[in-house]
C-alpha cells in the first residue's frame, strides 16, 4: 500500500525554495570583473541581466556563471539559440578554456566574492534573495511539527543556505543541509538516504537533468520525484515528464497528500507514477 506522505522530504534550494537570481547575477558580475577585468570593468554588465536570467535554467553549478556571462558579453551565446542544457553544454568547454581556470578555481572565485560581499554588507546580500511565496510559513510549520523530516540537497555552499534560513526565521537543522561541501552529487546523497531507511522519500528539484539522472539510477526507484515548475527551468523541461510529477507554487498551500494528485497541476499531470511506490 502506497503511503500518501513522505517520511523524508528532500528539497533543492535555489529555484525551489528561493529565487536567488538577483544575487547570482550580482555575484557573477563581481567574479567576472576579477576574471576578465579588461572586459568586465569597462562593460555595462547590467545590460546582460535579462539574458543571464533567461539562460540561468541551462546552468547547473555556480562555477559556470562567469562563463555564462562571458558567453553573453562576447556574443558567443545569442537569443537565436534555444536555451537548453544541451546548447549550453556545447559552449561551455570553449568558454572554460578561455577562462584559463578549472571548475574548482571558478567555484572558489564565485564563493570568494560572495563571502566578501556578505562580510561587507550582509543586509544587502540577503536583500538580493526572495523566498518564493508560501515557502517560509510552510517550512516553519513542518519544522515545528517535526514531520516530515526535511533535508536540503543543493549545489550551493551550505553556509549560504544557513545564512538565508536564519534571516528568514527558519530554524533549519544544519545537519540536514547537504551543500556543495558534501562533495557528492544529489543522486549519491539520495542513495545514502534510501540506504539509511528513509522511506517514503520525496525529492523536489527544478533542474530537470538532475531528476532524469535519478530516474536512471538503480536503487532509487522508490524515490518520488517532483519538478518545481516555478524554478529555473523552461517549458520544455516540463514536457514528457514520465514518472516525474509537476508542482506549482500553489502546492505549498496544499496538504502533502495532495501533492501526488493532479489538483492545481496542469491537466496533463500524470497519475501517481508506478516507480514512486513508497514502502
Ligand atoms: Mg535548483
Give the distance (Å) from ligand 1 centre to CA of residue 263: 23
Give the distance (Å) from ligand 1 centre to CA of residue 83: 16
Does a structural domain hold residue 220? yes
> Do both 154 and 243 map to the same domain?
yes
> Do both 204 and 236 map to the same domain?
yes
pLDDT > 90? residue 4: no
Quick one: pLDDT at residue 276?
A: 57
Do strands 245-247 and 224-228 pair parallel, antiparallel, or not at all (unpaired)? Answer: parallel
Give the distance (Å) from ligand 1 centre to CA of residue 205: 6
Q: What percent of the chain clears pLDDT 90, i.e. is strictly above it?
A: 78
Q: What is the pTM of this model?
A: 0.84
Segment 211-239, tens digit of pLDDT:
999 999 999 999 999 999 999 988 888 89
> Do both 169 and 101 map to the same domain?
no
Residue 47: which domain range?
A: 21-126
Give the distance (Å) from ligand 1 centre to CA of residue 42: 31
Lowest mean pLDDT among 36-40, 70-74, 96-100, 263-267: 263-267
> Do both 37 and 119 map to the same domain?
yes
> Do both 13 and 138 map to the same domain?
yes
pLDDT > 60? residue 269: no
Give the distance (Å) from ligand 1 centre to CA of residue 1: 31
Judge contact between 66 and 30, C-beta under 8 A: no
Give the distance (Å) from ligand 1 centre to CA of residue 62: 11
> Do both 34 and 156 map to the same domain?
no
> Do both 150 and 34 map to the same domain?
no
> Do both 116 and 105 map to the same domain?
yes
Does a structural domain hold residue 14? yes
Give the distance (Å) from ligand 1 centre to CA of residue 276: 21
Judge contact between 248 and 267, C-beta under 8 A: no
Distances (CA, A) of 137 to 168, 173, 247: 10, 16, 18
Quick one: pLDDT at residue 215?
A: 97
* Domain CATH number, residue 248: 3.40.50.1000
Return the C-alpha cell found at 231.
524554478
pLDDT > 90? residue 192: yes
Segment 130-149, tens digit of pLDDT:
999 999 999 999 999 999 99
pLDDT > 90? residue 40: no
Give the distance (Å) from ligand 1 centre to CA of residue 228: 9
Does a structural domain hold residue 263? no
The pLDDT confidence band at residue 69, using thresholds 50, 70 and 90, is very high
> Do both 191 and 201 map to the same domain?
yes
Total number of domains constituting the chain: 2
Give the distance (Å) from ligand 1 centre to CA of residue 231: 7
> Do both 251 and 117 map to the same domain?
no
Residues 6+ apart with CB under 8 A from 89: none
Give the distance (Å) from ligand 1 centre to CA of residue 132: 13
> Do both 38 and 57 map to the same domain?
yes
> Do both 150 and 105 map to the same domain?
no
Does a structural domain hold residue 82? yes
pLDDT > 70? residue 54: yes
pLDDT > 90? residue 174: yes
Amino acid at each position: 500500500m502506497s503511503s500518501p506522505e513522505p517520511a523524508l522530504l528532500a528539497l533543492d534550494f535555489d529555484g525551489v525554495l528561493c529565487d536567488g537570481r538577483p544575487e547570482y547575477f550580482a555575484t557573477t558580475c563581481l567574479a567576472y570583473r576579477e576574471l576578465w577585468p579588461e572586459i568586465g570593468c569597462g562593460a555595462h554588465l547590467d545590460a546582460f541581466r535579462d539574458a543571464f536570467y533567461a539562460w540561468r535554467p541551462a546552468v547547473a553549478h555556480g562555477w559556470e556563471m562567469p562563463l555564462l556571462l562571458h558567453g553573453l558579453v562576447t556574443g558567443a551565446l545569442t537569443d537565436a539559440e534555444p536555451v537548453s542544457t544541451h546548447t549550453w553544454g556545447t559552449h561551455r568547454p570553449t568558454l572554460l578554456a578561455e577562462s584559463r581556470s578549472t571548475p574548482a578555481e571558478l567555484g572558489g572565485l564565485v564563493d570568494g566574492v560572495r563571502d566578501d560581499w556578505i562580510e561587507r554588507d550582509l543586509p544587502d546580500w540577503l536583500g538580493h534573495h526572495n523566498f518564493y511565496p508560501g515557502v517560509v510559513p510552510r517550512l516553519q510549520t513542518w519544522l515545528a511539527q517535526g514531520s516530515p523530516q526535511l533535508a536540503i540537497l543543493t549545489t550551493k555552499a551550505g553556509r549560504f543556505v544557513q545564512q538565508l534560513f536564519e534571516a528568514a526565521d527558519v530554524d533549519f537543522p544544519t545537519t540536514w543541509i547537504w551543500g556543495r561541501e558534501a562533495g557528492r552529487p544529489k543522486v549519491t546523497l539520495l542513495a545514502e538516504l534510501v540506504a539509511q531507511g528513509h522511506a517514503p522519500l520525496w525529492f523536489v528539484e527544478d533542474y530537470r537533468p538532475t531528476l532524469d539522472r535519478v530516474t536512471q539510477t538503480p536503487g532509487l526507484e522508490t524515490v518520488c520525484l517532483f519538478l518545481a515548475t516555478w524554478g529555473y527551468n523552461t517549458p520544455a523541461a516540463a514536457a514528457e515528464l514520465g514518472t516525474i510529477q509537476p508542482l506549482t507554487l500553489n502546492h505549498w498551500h496544499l496538504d502533502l497528500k495532495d501533492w501526488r494528485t493532479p489538483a492545481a497541476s496542469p491537466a496533463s499531470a500524470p497519475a501517481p507514477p508506478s516507480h514512486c511506490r513508497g514502502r
